[in-house]
C-alpha cells in the first residue's frame, strides 16, 4: 500500500517497527490523522492498545464536525443509544449491574503505601491483572482514538488527554462533557506530557457489558494511565471525569495548585455584582442544584482547578458539560435544567424509563406510565425483583449528559483561559441532625478543618447501602491519589502568599426534625448562598458562635422575602440555626478517631479540632446542649 508524503515524513520520525505496525493496522485516512501529531508517545500508546485489544478497525477523531458527527451516528447505528421523541435526545442503558461508580474495583496502582482510607493495589500485580482482562476486548469492534483538553483549550490551567475506547456512547458523552483538542495535540512536542486512558466495554450482550465480575478501573500513578474494562456507566468508563481527576490531584500538589471536586458559579449580588464561588458536595447532596440556582450563572458543576495568581485565587472548570443525577429534577425546583431536558438540543438520558419515546425519572413530578423500557429491560408497574420488592421505573442514580453551552444560565466566563477570581468556597454534605444550614469559618485554617471533617449520608450514586453516615473530606475521598495528610498539608500551604484568601463556608441542606421531615426547603439554599456573597463583601454582620459565624435572623428574613417571596419565621430560624452541642462533639470524636489512623496529619488541623472542642465544651457549660442563636 502506498502512502502520501506527509505520512512518510512522519513515519521517518518514529521507530521503524512502530511505523510498520501502524501502517499494517490502521487505514490510510485514519493513519494520516494520527501521524499529524508529532509525538511518538501518542503513536506508541495507540499501537500498544491495538496489540492488546485487537480491534477490527481504528477511528481517529479530530475536532472536525464530520468526525464528531460520525461518533454520534455510530452510537445510534450500533444501538448503544436510541432516538427519543425530541430532536437531539437519546437514551442509553448501562444494564442492571452497572449503575454507579464501582468503588471496590476502582484502585490506584502504586509502588508506595497510600494509607488505609485510599483503595490501592501493588502496581505490577494490578497492571498484570487488568491487562489480562483487556486482551482481545475489542475483537470485532472499532477502536476510537480521542483528544481532549481538561480546561479551556490553550489555558495554562489545562491538561491534555488521549482517550481510547470501543464505546461510541462513551465517545459521544465526552463530546458533550469536554473540549476537543486534536489541534492542540498537533502542536505538542516529543517532550509534552498528557494523561492517557484505555477503556473497553468488553464483551457485550444486547449492548450491555456481560462480564461484570471482571469489571476493573485501575489508575497507574507512575505512568499516568487509566485502564478501565467491562463497564459502560460513565463514572467508570469516561476516563476524563473522576479518573483523570485522580491523576490531576497527584500532579497538582507538588506544583502548588489544587484539583478539586467542586462546582464553579457566579453568585449575583446587589447592583449587578458577580462573585465567583466554588463548592464541594458529595454526589446527590445538592451540588448541581446549587450551581444551577435561579438567577445565578454556572461555570461548571463538578471539577475545578484552583491556582494562585497575583496573590489571589483563580479557577477554571475542567469540563464543559454536566453528567448530572436526574432524580428529583422537576419544573418547580430545577427550571433551567428542566427546560434544557425538554427542548430540542443534544442530551443523553441514561437508565430512565422510556415510554412512547418519552423519558421519565424518579421525582420528575409526573405520573409514570404503566409500562415501558428501563435499565432492566421491559418494565411494568407490577415488576418486582428477586425479593418480591417493586422495581422502580427508573434507577435512583439515573443521569443526564448535556453540554453547558445548552444552558440558558451559563456564565460568560465559561471559557476564560485566565480563570475567574474565586472569593468564596462552600463545603457541604448530607447531615440530618448536626450542622446548621450555613456557617462562615473563622479563618482559612478553620475552613479547611470544616472541609476535612465533612460527613455525608450515602446515596444511590455509589454502589452499596444507602443512608450510612460516611466520612468524606472535601468530598474528595473516593478520588484521593495521595495520603490524606499530604492532601491537607497542601490545603494549609495554599494560603501562603494570599493576603485575603477566599472565605470558607460550611453548608447543610438536609437537617430534619424529630419526625424525620426536612426543616429547610429545596429553594432555601438560594438564601444561604446569597447571604454568603454579602459576607464576602462585608455587607452584613454575623453572630459569632462556637462553630463559626452564622446569619442574623433579620438578614435572612429580608432575603427570603425579597428573593423567594416567603415569610421566614423566627421559629424556623431557631430550629435551623440552634447549635446542637452533643451532636457536634460526637462528630469531633468520630473525626479524631478516623485521623488517628492516618499518617502525617497536619498539626494545624488537629489544633483546629481541639479548639473547636474547647469552644463547644465551654458553650455547653454556659448554655446547655441545644443553644439558641439568640443566646450569642
Residues 259-310 have pLDDT tens digits of 999 999 999 999 999 999 999 997 767 888 899 999 999 999 999 999 999 9
Q: To 10 degrees, the CA torsion angle through 87, 328, 264, 405?
A: 10
- Residue 313: strand, helix, or coil: strand
- Report d(CA 507, CA 523) in Å as an integer: 14
Q: Is 292 within 8 Å of 298 (Cβ atoms)?
A: yes
- Which three cell numbers, joined as nine digits, stand for 606? 488537629
* pLDDT (0 to 100) of residue 1: 37
- Report d(CA 50, CA 48) in Å as an integer: 5
Nearest to 338 by CA among 317, 367, 359: 359
Q: Which residues of 580-592 are buried (b: 16+ CB within 10 A; e: fewer)?
A: bbeebeebbeebe
Angle subtended by helix axes 40-53 and 28-35, to nearest 10: 140
- Report d(CA 74, CA 93) in Å as an integer: 16
pLDDT digits (tens, 9 = 90+) for 28-37: 999 999 999 9
The one catalytic residue in 11, 61, 161, 285 is: 285
Predicted TM-score (pTM) of the model is 0.93
Q: If you search the block for the grid coordinates 506530557, which residue do you land on?
A: 193
* pLDDT (0 to 100) of residue 118: 87
Task: Tell how strand 626-627 and strand 579-580 pair up.
Answer: antiparallel
* pLDDT (0 to 100) of residue 465: 58
Q: Is 309 within 8 Å of 456 (Cβ atoms)?
A: no
Confidence check: pLDDT of 488 > 90: yes
| Active-site residue flag, 11 | no
The residues pairing with 390 across neighbouring beta strands, listed in sequence order, are 384
Confidence band, pLDDT 50/70/90 cuts, at residue 405: very high
- Residue 537: strand, helix, or coil: coil
- Kindly state the average pLDDT of the residues 557-576: 98
Q: Is 269 within 8 Å of 275 (Cβ atoms)?
A: yes
Nearest to 100 by CA among 234, 210, 215: 234
The residues pairing with 400 across neighbouring beta strands, listed in sequence order, are 324, 349
CATH fourth-level superfamily of 5-255:
Phosphoenolpyruvate Carboxykinase, domain 1 (3.40.449.10)
Task: Tell how strand 274-280 and strand 420-429 pair up.
Answer: parallel
As a three-state string, the secondary structure of 93-132 is CCCCCCCCECCCCEEEEECCCCCCCCCEEEHHHHHHHHHH
pLDDT digits (tens, 9 = 90+) for 206-257: 999 999 999 999 999 999 999 999 999 999 999 999 999 999 999 999 999 9
Confidence check: pLDDT of 348 > 90: yes
Q: Give CA angle at 483 (455, 310), nearest 5°.
A: 85
- Residue 393: strand, helix, or coil: coil
For the domain covering 258-320+414-631, report its CATH number.
Answer: 3.90.228.20
* pLDDT (0 to 100) of residue 6: 53
* pLDDT (0 to 100) of residue 282: 79
- Report d(CA 165, CA 172) in Å as an integer: 11
* pLDDT (0 to 100) of residue 430: 81
| H/E segment holding residue 440 | strand 438-440
Q: Return the domain boundaries, the chain.
A: 5-255, 258-320+414-631, 323-406
Q: Which residues contact 484 (CB under 8 A, 6 or more apart)?
A: 115, 117, 118, 473, 477, 595, 598, 601
Q: If you average pLDDT over every residue of the chain, what do you get? A: 94
Give the distance, in angstroms, between the CA of residue 303 and the centroid of all CA atoms in the same chain.
Answer: 5
* pLDDT (0 to 100) of residue 3: 42
User: Would you say the C-alpha torsion 61, 64, 68, 74 has a positive or negative sign?
Assistant: negative
* pLDDT (0 to 100) of residue 464: 57
Under CATH, to which class is 323-406 assigned?
mainly beta
- Kindly state the average pLDDT of the residues 424-449: 95
Q: Is 288 within 8 Å of 325 (Cβ atoms)?
A: yes
Amino acid at each position: 500500500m502506498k502512502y502520501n508524503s506527509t505520512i512518510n515524513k512522519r513515519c521517518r520520525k518514529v521507530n521503524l517497527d512502530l511505523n510498520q505496525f501502524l501502517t499494517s493496522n490502521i487505514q490510510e485516512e485514519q493513519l494520516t490523522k494520527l501521524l499529524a501529531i508529532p509525538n511518538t508517545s501518542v503513536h506508541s500508546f495507540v499501537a500498544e492498545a491495538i496489540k492488546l485489544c485487537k480491534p477490527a478497525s481504528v477511528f481517529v477523531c479530530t475536532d472536525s464536525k464530520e468526525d464528531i458527527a460520525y461518533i454520534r451516528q455510530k452510537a445510534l447505528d450500533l444501538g448503544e443509544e436510541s432516538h427519543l421523541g425530541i430532536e437531539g435526545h437519546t437514551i442509553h442503558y448501562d444494564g442492571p449491574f452497572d449503575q454507579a461508580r464501582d468503588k471496590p474495583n476502582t484502585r490506584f496502582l502504586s509502588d508506595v503505601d497510600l494509607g488505609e482510607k485510599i483503595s490501592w493495589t501493588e502496581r505490577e500485580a494490578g497492571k498484570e491483572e487488568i491487562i489480562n482482562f483487556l486482551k482481545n476486548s475489542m475483537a470485532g469492534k472499532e477502536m476510537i482514538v480521542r483528544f481532549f483538553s481538561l480546561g479551556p483549550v490553550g489555558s495554562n490551567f489545562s491538561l491534555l488527554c488521549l482517550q481510547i475506547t470501543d464505546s461510541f456512547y462513551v465517545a459521544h458523552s465526552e463530546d458533550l462533557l469536554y473540549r476537543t483538542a486534536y489541534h492542540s495535540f498537533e502542536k505538542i512536542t516529543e517532550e509534552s506530557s498528557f494523561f492517557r486512558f484505555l477503556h473497553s466495554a468488553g464483551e457485550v450482550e444486547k449492548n450491555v457489558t456481560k462480564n461484570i465480575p471482571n469489571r476493573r478501573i485501575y489508575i497507574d500513578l507512575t505512568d499516568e494511565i487509566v485502564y478501565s474494562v467491562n463497564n459502560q456507566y460513565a463514572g467508570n468508563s469516561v476516563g476524563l471525569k473522576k479518573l483523570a481527576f485522580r491523576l490531576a490531584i497527584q500532579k497538582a500538589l507538588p506544583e502548588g495548585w489544587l484539583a478539586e471536586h467542586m462546582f464553579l458559579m457566579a453568585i449575583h449580588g446587589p447592583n449587578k455584582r458577580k462573585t465567583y464561588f466554588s463548592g464541594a458536595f458529595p454526589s446527590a447532596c445538592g451540588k448541581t442544584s446549587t450551581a444551577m440556582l435561579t438567577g445565578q450563572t454556572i461555570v461548571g458543576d463538578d471539577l475545578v482547578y484552583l491556582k494562585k495568581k497575583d496573590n489571589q485565587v483563580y479557577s477554571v472548570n475542567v469540563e464543559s458539560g454536566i453528567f448530572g443525577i436526574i432524580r428529583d429534577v422537576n419544573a418547580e425546583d430545577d427550571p433551567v435544567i428542566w427546560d434544557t431536558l425538554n427542548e430540542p438540543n443534544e442530551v443523553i438520558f441514561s437508565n430512565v424509563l422510556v415510554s412512547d419515546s418519552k423519558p421519565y425519572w424518579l421525582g420528575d413530578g409526573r405520573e409514570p406510565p404503566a409500562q415501558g423500557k428501563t435499565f432492566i429491560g421491559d418494565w411494568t408497574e407490577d415488576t418486582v425483583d428477586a425479593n418480591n420488592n417493586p422495581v422502580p421505573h427508573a434507577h435512583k442514580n439515573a443521569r443526564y449528559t448535556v453540554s453547558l453551552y445548552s444552558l440558558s444560565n451559563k456564565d460568560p466566563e465559561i471559557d476564560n483561559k485566565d480563570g475567574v477570581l474565586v472569593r468564596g468556597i462552600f463545603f457541604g454534605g448530607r447531615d440530618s441532625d448536626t450542622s446548621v444550614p450555613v456557617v462562615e469559618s473563622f479563618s482559612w485554617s478553620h475552613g479547611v478543618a470544616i472541609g476535612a471533617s465533612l460527613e455525608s449520608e450515602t446515596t444511590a450514586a455509589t454502589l452499596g447501602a444507602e443512608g450510612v453516615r460516611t466520612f468524606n473530606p472535601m468530598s474528595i475521598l473516593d478520588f484521593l491519589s495521595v495520603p490524606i495528610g499530604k492532601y491537607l498539608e497542601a490545603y494549609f500551604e495554599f494560603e501562603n502568599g494570599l493576603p485575603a484568601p477566599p472565605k470558607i463556608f460550611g453548608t447543610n441542606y438536609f437537617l430534619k426534625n424529630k419526625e424525620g421531615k426536612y426543616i429547610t426547603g429545596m429553594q432555601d439554599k438560594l438564601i444561604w448562598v446569597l447571604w454568603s456573597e454579602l459576607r464576602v463583601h462585608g455587607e452584613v454582620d454575623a453572630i459569632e458562635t462556637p462553630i463559626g459565624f452564622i446569619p442574623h435572623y433579620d438578614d435572612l428574613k429580608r432575603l427570603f422575602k425579597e428573593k423567594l417571596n416567603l415569610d421566614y419565621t423566627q421559629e424556623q430560624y431557631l430550629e435551623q440555626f440552634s447549635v446542637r452541642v452533643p451532636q457536634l462533639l460526637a462528630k469531633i470524636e468520630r473525626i479524631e478517631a478516623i485521623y488517628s489512623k492516618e499518617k502525617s496529619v497536619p498539626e494545624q488541623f488537629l489544633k483546629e479540632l481541639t479548639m473547636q472542642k474547647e469552644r463547644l465544651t465551654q458553650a455547653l457549660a454556659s448554655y446547655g446542649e441545644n443553644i439558641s442563636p439568640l443566646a450569642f
